[in-house]
A and B are shown apart, each in its own frame.
Chain A
Amino acid sequence: MNEVVVDIKNVKKSFRTKKAVNDLSLSVSRGKITGILGPNGAGKSTMIRMLMGIMIPDSGEVIYHLDSHEKIPRSRIGFLPEERGLYKNEKVMDVILYLADLKDYDKEKAKQRALDLLVRFGLEGHEKSKIEELSKGMAQKVQFIGAIIHEPEFLILDEPFSGLDPVSQDVFKEEIQALADNGTAILLSAHQMNIVERLCDEIFLIHKGEKVVYDTVNNIKEQFSNYKCVLVNTDTTYPFNEDERVERVEVEGNQTTIHFHQDVHPLSYIRSFPDDLHWDELHIDRKSLHDIFVSIAKGEGS
C-alpha cells in the first residue's frame, strides 16, 4: 500500500527577507507515518501551515489526491497544532462536536465516536467537564480527539508528545500507530527522537528551510549513524577534538562522548590514546537518530 495522499512540490515561502522554506518536496502516503524533523525555526510549522492552506506558498504546489473538488480538502484532514489550546470555558463534548461539525462529520456519529475515544484516552465521564477543569495532559488528549474525531484520511501531528507523561505518551503512540495501520497517512513532527525512530516509516529532515535528508529511518541510520565512543570518568582536559577523525565532543557529568566522522572506526582512534589517559568505562556505539539530529542542528552532519 503506497498510495500517495499529498504531494508537496518545490514549495518556497519567505517572510520579508527570510527564507522560511526553500524548495522543499515531500510525499505522504496512506498507512505510512512520515516524520518531519528539524530544529526550532527549521521551517516545519510553515511547511505544515502550507499543507493546511493556512499559508499560501510563494511558489511550488501542494497537491492532494483525496478525490475532492477542494484544493485543500480540510474536512478530510486532521490537524493537531503545536500550540495547545481549546475553548477554556466550554464543555469537552461541545468542543469536540463543534470541531467535528466544522469537518462536516455527522453529529450522531461524532457523539458516539467521541464517547468511545474519551474512554480510550481515560477521559470517561469528563464529557460534561469544562476544558479549564482538566489538567494540561487531559486537555491535550481532548485536542487530539478533536483532531481525529472525523476519521481523517490525512493527519498532521505537530509535537503531539510534548508535555505528556510517559504513560500518556504510550497511549498516543498506540493510537497513532493504530490510525496508520487503518490506512491514515500521518505526518508527524516531534522532537522525541526515540519515539520518531520507533514510529516513523520515513523521515524528512530539514534545517534552515532546506532539505537535509529524506529517506526511510533505516537508510538514514545507515547513512548517518557514525560511531561514537563514551568514556566515563576520564580526563576532560584531554584534547579529544583536536584529532581530525573527531566530529565533536560532548561532556555531560562524568561522561565524555566523542562523535566520529563517517567511516571512522573508533578502535583505531582509541589505540592512539596515550597510556596515562585514565577512564573507568568505555562504550562504543552507533549514533542514534537523536545524535544525527543534534549533529545536523549544529551544522556538523549535513
Chain B
Amino acid sequence: MRNKKLKVAKWEIKRNLQNKTFIISTFVTPAIFLFFLFIGSLVGGNDEPDMTEVGEGSSADHEIPVYVTGDEEAVESFQDIALVEAEVAHYELFDGPVSELEERAAVEAIAYVHIEDPTNATLVVSEEYTSPTMVIRTEVEQLLQSTQLEQVGVEQAERELVLSTSVPVQTISSSGDGNEWLEDIIPAAFAGIVLLSIIMTGMMTLNSSMQEKKDKMAETLLSSVSANQLMQGKILGYFVVGMAQVAVWLLLVIPFAEIFSDFTIIEHLFTPITLLYLLYAVLGYLLFASMYVALGATMEDASTASNLTGMMMMLPFLPFALVWVFISDPNGIVSIVASYFPFSASAAMIVRIVMLDELPVLEIVISILVLVVFVWLMMNAAGKVYRTAMLMSGKNVTPGEIIRMIRHKD
C-alpha cells in the first residue's frame, strides 16, 4: 500500500525519460529556439552597432541631418556640451524660425531639436525615419540632461559618470538600469513555459491512460493499486516529466541567452513573484492533467473521440488563443472573466499580473480559490470516470455514460 502513487509516478517518469520521442522533443525544442535566436542575432546584428556608434559618427548619423534651434543661451550650452562630451559633430545650428524646420520635416528626412529653455526641449523627426529616432532621442536627452547638470554646477567628469554616454540606448529609461521589465517578463515567461510544457505533458497522461486501456493493462494494474492511486501517480509522474523538460530547456537556453543577449535571466528568475506564477501553473496542470487522464480512460483511440470529448481535449488551449486579448486589454471584460474561468485562469492571471502595475490582491485570491475548488472537483470526477471507464473495453464511453459515472455515488 505504501507509496504506490510514487511507484506509479516513478514508472511513468522512467518510461518517458527513456522514450526516444520524448528525448528528441526535449532537446530539439530548445535547439529550434536557439537556432532562431542565432538567426535573429545574425539578421538583426546591424542594429546594435548602429545604435551604439551613432555618437561616434557612424553611417547612421549621416542618414539624417539634425538641426538645433531655440533659445540662444540654451542652444549654446547644448552645443558646447555636444561638441565636447558626446563627440557629436553632426548637429547643426539653425538660425531660422522653427516653422521652417517644421515644414522641411514634413517633406524631407530631417530631425531637429527645439530648445526653448534648458529644461524644455522638443525633438522632431521625419515620420519615415522611425528607426533612428530612438538613437537621436537618446543622445538629445543625454545632452539636455548634461546641459541641465552643467547649469546646476555639476562638473564635466561627474556628468559623464552620471550619463555614461558610451551606452546611449540604455539611458532611455527614466530611471534604473533599463532592465526592470525583465523582472516582470522573465518569471512570467518562465511560468508560461512551465504551463505550456506541463499542459503538453498533461496531454501525455491522456495517451498513457489510452495506451494502458489499449494494451489491456487496466485490470492487471488495478489488481495492485487503486484507481485513485494509479491516476494520481500518473499525474505526479507526468508533472515531474514536464518539469524535467523545462529544466533541460532552461539549462540549454539560459547560457546561450546570457552569452548572446543582454538578458540577465537567472537574476530575474528566482523572485517571489515566480512562486505565484508557478502556483498558477501547477494548479492549471492539476486541472488539465486530471481531466486528460480521465478522458484517456474513456477511449482507446483519440481519433474516435466524441465531439464533446474532443472539445474538452481542446479546453486547455483556450487561454493560448486568448493570450493577445489578455496582453492588449488586461483589464477588459474578457481578461477579467477569463481570470475566474478555471480553464483560462492560470494563463490569464499570469499575463495580467505582468501587464498591470497593480492587480488587486482580492482578484488573485479569488482566482486561486476558483482554481483550487475546480481542481478538487475535477480530481474527484476524474477518479470516478477513470476507475469505471478503464474497465470498459471494446467501445468508447459516451458523454452520457461519463455523466452517469460522475453522478454515481460511491
Residue A70 interfacial (CB < 8 Å): yes
- Distance in Å from the Cβ of A262 to the closest Cβ of chain B? 39
Binds B, one of A17-25, A47-55, A198-206, A235-243: A47-55
Residues of A within 8 A of B407 (CB): none
Residues of B within 8 A of A81 (CB): 216, 219-220, 223
Binds B, one of A31-39, A97-105, A111-119, A266-274: A97-105
Max chain A CB contacts within 10 Å: which of B215, B222, B223? B223
Residue A74 interfacial (CB < 8 Å): yes
Residue B268 interfacial (CB < 8 Å): no
A83 to B300, CA, bound (A): 14
Judging by beta carbons under 8 Å apart, are A143 and B220 in contact?
A: yes
Contact of A75 among B1, B8, B391 (CB under 8 A): B1
> Which residues 1-49 of B sit at the A interface, judged by CB distance below 8 A?
1-2, 4, 7-8, 11, 15
Number of interface residues of B (CB under 8 A): 25
Judging by beta carbons under 8 Å apart, are B225 and A85 in contact?
A: no
Residues of B within 8 A of A82 (CB): 219
A-B contact pairs, 26 of them (CB 8 A): A49-B219, A52-B222, A52-B223, A54-B222, A56-B410, A70-B1, A74-B223, A77-B223, A79-B220, A79-B223, A81-B216, A81-B223, A83-B216, A83-B219, A83-B393, A86-B215, A86-B217, A87-B212, A87-B217, A90-B15, A101-B11, A102-B8, A102-B224, A104-B1, A104-B2, A146-B220
Residues of B within 8 A of A85 (CB): 215-217, 220
Judging by beta carbons under 8 Å apart, are A74 and B217 in contact?
A: no
- Distance in Å from the Cβ of B329 to the closest Cβ of chain A? 47
Residue B221 interfacial (CB < 8 Å): yes
Mark B160-200 against chain A: 1 for CB-CB distance below 8 A, else 0: 00000000000000000000000000000000000000000
* Chain B residues near A (Cβ < 8 Å): 1-2, 4, 7-8, 11, 15, 211-212, 215-226, 387, 391, 393, 410
Judging by beta carbons under 8 Å apart, are B393 and A103 in contact?
A: no
Main SS class of interface, A: loop
Indicate the size class of the contact surface on chain A.
20 to 34
Residues of B within 8 A of A87 (CB): 15, 211-212, 215, 217
Judging by beta carbons under 8 Å apart, are B7 and A53 in contact?
A: no
Max chain B CB contacts within 10 Å: which of A56, A84, A104? A104
Residues of B within 8 A of A79 (CB): 219-220, 223
> Which residues 107-150 of A sit at the B interface, judged by CB distance below 8 A?
143, 146-147
Residues of B within 8 A of A54 (CB): 219, 222-223, 387, 391
A104 to B2, CA, bound (A): 8
> Which partner residue on chain A sits nearest B216 by CB separation?
A85
Knowing A75-B1, A86-B217, A87-B217 touch, does A103 contact B391 (C-beta < 8 A)? no
Residue A88 interfacial (CB < 8 Å): yes
Knowing A86-B217, A90-B15, A98-B11 touch, does A74 contact B224 (C-beta < 8 A)? yes
Q: Given contacts A53-B226, A143-B220, list 6 more A-B pairs with CB under 8 A.
A: A74-B223, A75-B1, A77-B223, A84-B216, A87-B215, A147-B220
A83 to B213, CA, bound (A): 10
A85 to B220, CA, bound (A): 8
